[in-house]
A and B are shown apart, each in its own frame.
Chain A
């Protein structure tokens, strides 16, 4: 303690003269709660869009009314920069008491399970019986429950039903129907119409699904620090993408690039109904449906399965989790807030399905009683439950460098700089090299 205090004194003295006139002008600095009896101030952070912010703020106000001794300071941002900020806060030991985290951040901050508070130590505040074992397993790192999932997310196939009606086709239910829709779209609607739109990240996901339906193994082998796929397997994925483009199922990289670097749901061809489908998370499909020009509607399509598929090959994981700061001075109060947000009827009603269909059984019952479990994201959840879904993908599949290596190879393949064989080889070499480096 001693050297730290003297360092603080030294720094304070060094800038005291300069800072003095400004200190009063600044915002209230970090409050010292010691002197005030029984009022606990919690900090909570989350990211989201405008709807989420409004609903979340209202829930916090209700929480404060319910527990008058606790005040909650909201620290929220959009998606951009949230991870950077949280990284700084965690390394500076100034992270909020309660925070929303992404599932693959667990491997960044808490590989040993000590990066966040072990929620099993708070049985009085958190009712873990409301969660199924599977979703709790997703939040567990090295035997410690680090985060509670809000919702479970998967990537499914959603289609613009209006466009399919114009093409005179039912929504595809198998890979064969999807492939045969390409030429029909071209001949009946025109060459600028496609049954599906995939950016390179989606291509990686769909390619992974295609392979997994045959192999039944997760793509990343975390223990072996390598891909669970041979060079031939990856060449199969590359050939699969080549076929999607050649048979006019998805637009080529050149065509997509001609619209500029725009998010898929903001691409002109999606808005106007020329791209007939997306491979989207059930928690995020709302944005694709919202941006469509009026008069069109999005429907969930059946998940295509290869004949003899052992597993659907879904990407399945928590859409987001809530975690408690490992070094918070108020773990019990933070857990009360967490429990309130996940279970309180008003909070649950207001949030609805905005963060995806809830995992918490009590929340689910509240929404079911209100008849709110409808719509394309709920249908997606039901579809996932009906599919063979046993394979659990490693969090390192989502590592930014792994993702980029796949996307680079697909891009070179798309532009014809590599052929199918070379693209598969490249993925095999690059991704294995990266995995050896990032899994420690």
Chain B
């Protein structure tokens, strides 16, 4: 939990002449930052290429790796937004959020509740149950597809958003439960005992004591689930059949065929837009994430 500050090169400074020391103080960061910027650029290059590709005509996209379009055009953005379907991309955005938002909320609530149970209550057979939960993480998702599909068909939920988020209400992502359990194990139960003495019941302990402390873990769970759900292709592909219900992940691939040349600039333009929510959420959550870490580490 403790944050270790990176050690600065302070040892040599006293012995060196003043001018050399000044040079060194400037040279060090300059060198470090130029390396970081160069590496950062390299890492971000595919992302930049995608944004640049959205502004290129199609034949230019694959003929070079340069970023600057020779004949820039916003045709890809306009056509991509209109799509080749009866709907505009706004429909697909709103569908995505109608799946992702309930899914993230349900995942967080159910995972924290179940993790609290595993971490703090000594139920008989707890180890076995926890082992089973972890086993579900190792189970390949594809073996569940057909049985789940049949179950949701019996419920009459096909072509609705329900099969995509209702399972999250039952802590079906064992990985998230594991993550939160490990986080809870890392801090002592004395605070909770104090709260119990003060008259809290279990849920009040969870809400007033545990949740504020494990906030970083909760944010991580929400963040992971958000990104995975945004990118999920197979789930919506199987459960949603009406085009009007498609989320972004399906809509992006709807015009990619084997017999027709793909208008990649449209796909890239919409991919760029589709990336924005994830990027924004990540930057927004990152602040809380760090805040959560420091809050938890300073004082109990």
Q: Tell me the A residues contacting B by CB distance below 8 Å.
A: 4, 7-8, 11-12, 15, 18-19, 22-23, 25-27, 29-30, 43, 45, 47-54, 57, 73-81, 84-85, 88-89, 91-94, 96, 262, 265-268, 271-272, 281, 283-284, 286-288, 290-294, 319, 354-355
CB <8 Å contact, A77 and B253: yes
CB neighbours of B120 from chain A (8 A):
none
Which of A4, A29, A93, A294 interacts with B160 by CB under 8 Å?
A29
Task: Given A19-B166, A53-B84, decide whether A266 and B62 contact each other with a Cβ distance below 8 A.
Answer: yes
Q: Which of A15, A78, A281, A291 contacts B255 (CB 8 A)?
A: A78
Given the known interface contacts A53-B255, A85-B238, the answer about A15 and B63 at a Cβ–Cβ threshold of 8 Å is: no
Tell me which residues from 254 to 286 in chain B have a Cβ below 8 Å from any Cβ of chain A.
254-264, 266
Q: Look across to chain A and name the residue whose beta carbon is closest to the beta carbon of B257.
A: A49
A49-B233 contact, Cβ under 8 Å, with A75-B243, A78-B254? no
User: Is B85 in contact with A53, judged by CB distance below 8 angstroms?
Assistant: yes
Q: Give chain A residues whose Cβ lies under 8 Å from the Cβ of B250.
A: 77
Selected from A75, A91, A94, A292, the residue in CB contact (under 8 A) with B59 is A292
Q: For the complex, is B48 an interface residue (Cβ under 8 Å from A)?
A: no
Are the CB atoms of A78 and B257 closer together than 8 Å? yes
Q: Using known A-B contacts A75-B242, A81-B253, determine if residue A18 contacts B169 with beta carbons closer than 8 Å.
A: yes
B104 to chain A, nearest CB (A): 15
Decide yes or no whether B231 CB sits under 8 A from chain A: no
Residues of A within 8 A of B258 (CB): 79, 284
A22-B162 CB under 8 A given contacts A57-B86, A78-B255, A92-B146 = yes
Taking a contact as CB atoms under 8 Å apart, the answer to whether B237 and A94 are in contact is: no
> Which residues from chain B contact A53 at a C-beta distance below 8 Å?
84-85, 254-255
B138 at the interface (CB under 8 A from A): no
Q: Which of B52-89 contact A (CB under 8 A)?
A: 58-59, 62-64, 83-86
Interface contact B84-A15, CB-CB below 8 Å: no
Contacts of B259 in A (CB 8 A): 48-49, 281, 283-284, 286-287, 319, 355
On whether A27 and B151 interact (CB within 8 A), knowing A49-B255, A271-B62, A293-B59, the answer reads no
Of A15, A27, A93, which is within 8 A of B244 by CB? Answer: A27
Instruction: Give chain A residues whose Cβ lies under 8 Å from the Cβ of B245.
Output: 27
Q: Which residues of A contact B260 (CB under 8 A)?
A: 48-52, 284, 286-287, 290, 354
Closest CB in chain B relative to A380 CB, distance in Å: 13
**Bound form: Cα–Cα A354–B149 in Å:** 34
Task: Return chain B residues, CB-CB under 8 Å to A15.
Answer: 155, 166
* 15 further contact pairs, Cβ within 8 A, besides A45-B241, A50-B84: A8-B154, A11-B151, A23-B162, A25-B161, A26-B157, A57-B85, A73-B242, A76-B254, A81-B234, A81-B253, A92-B149, A266-B264, A281-B259, A290-B58, A291-B62
Contact at B257–A88, with CB atoms within 8 Å?
no
B102 within 8 Å of A (CB atoms)? yes
Chain A residues whose C-beta falls within 8 Å of the C-beta of B146 in the assembled complex: 88, 91-92
Task: Contact check, B162 vs A11: say whether CB atoms are below 8 A apart.
Answer: no
Complex-state Cα separation, A288 to B259, whole angstroms: 9
- Given A92-B153, A292-B59, A293-B63, A22 contacting B102 (CB threshold 8 A): yes
- Chain B positions within 8 Å of A, measured between CB atoms, are 58-59, 62-64, 83-86, 98, 102, 145-146, 149-151, 153-162, 166, 169, 233-234, 237-238, 241-245, 250, 253-264, 266
CB within 8 A of A26: which of B151, B162, B238, B244?
B162
29 A-B pairs (CB sep. < 8 Å): A8-B154, A8-B155, A25-B161, A26-B162, A27-B242, A48-B260, A49-B257, A49-B261, A50-B84, A53-B85, A73-B242, A78-B254, A78-B255, A79-B258, A81-B233, A84-B238, A89-B241, A91-B149, A93-B153, A268-B62, A271-B62, A283-B259, A284-B259, A286-B260, A287-B262, A290-B261, A291-B59, A291-B261, A293-B63
Is A85 a contact of B160 with CB atoms below 8 Å?
Answer: no
Contact A85 B237 (CB under 8 A): yes
- In the complex formed, the residue of A with least CB distance to B258 is A79
Chain B CB within 10 Å — which of A29, A57, A96 has the most? A29
A30 to B59, CA, bound (A): 43
Instruction: Flag if A287 contacts B261 (CB, 8 Å).
Output: yes
Specify which chain A residues have a CB less than 8 angstroms from the CB of B233 in the assembled complex: 81
Give the residue among A49, A74, A291 with the most B Cβ atoms within 10 A.
A49
In the complex, the 6 A-B pairs of residues with the closest C-beta atoms, listed nearest first: A49-B260, A50-B84, A49-B257, A26-B160, A290-B261, A287-B261
Verify B243–A30 contact, CB threshold 8 A: no
Q: Which residues of B contact A80 (CB under 8 A)?
A: 253, 256
Q: Give the distance to chain A from B166, nearest Cβ to Cβ, in Å.
A: 6
A30 to B241 CA separation, bound complex (whole angstroms) = 11
Q: How far is the CA of A413 from the CA of B75 in the complex (A)?
A: 45
CB neighbours of B261 from chain A (8 A): 49, 265, 286-288, 290-291
Residues of A within 8 A of B145 (CB): 88
List, in ascending order, chain B residues with CB within 8 A of A51's CB.
84, 260
B246 (CB) vs chain A CBs: closest residue = A77
Contacts of B238 in A (CB 8 A): 84-85, 88
Chain A residues with CB below 8 A from B169, complex form: 18
Hey, which chain A residues are within 8 Å of B264, CB to CB?
A: 266
Cα distance A355–B257 in the bound complex, in angstroms: 12
Q: How far is the CB of A212 from chain B (nearest CB, A)?
A: 24
Instruction: Look across to chain B and name the residue whose beta carbon is closest to the beta carbon of A45.
Output: B241
Cβ–Cβ contact B242 & A81, under 8 A: no
Q: How far is the CB of A10 from chain B (nearest CB, A)?
A: 10
Nearest CB of chain A from residue B141's CB, rounded to whole Å: 13
A92 contact set on B, CB distance < 8 A: 146, 149-150, 153
Q: In the assembled complex, which residues on chain B have CB atoms less than 8 Å from the CB atom of A43?
A: 241
Neighbouring A residues of B243 by C-beta, 8 Å: 74-76
What separation, in Å, do the CA atoms of A8 and B151 have in the docked complex?
Answer: 9
Q: Which of A79, A88, A89: most chain B CB closer than 10 A?
A: A88
C-alpha gap A76/B169 in the complex (Å): 30
Chain A positions within 8 Å of B156 at CB level = 29-30
Report A-chain residues with C-beta under 8 Å of the C-beta of B155: 8, 11-12, 15
Q: How far is the CA of A43 from the CA of B234 in the complex (A)?
A: 21
Shortest beta-carbon distance from B268 to chain A in Å: 13
A355 CB, min distance to chain B CBs, angstroms: 8
Interface centre among B86, B169, B259, B260 (most CB of A within 10 A): B259
- Assembly CA distance A293 to B161 (angstroms): 43
Minimum CB–CB distance for B165 against chain A, Å: 8
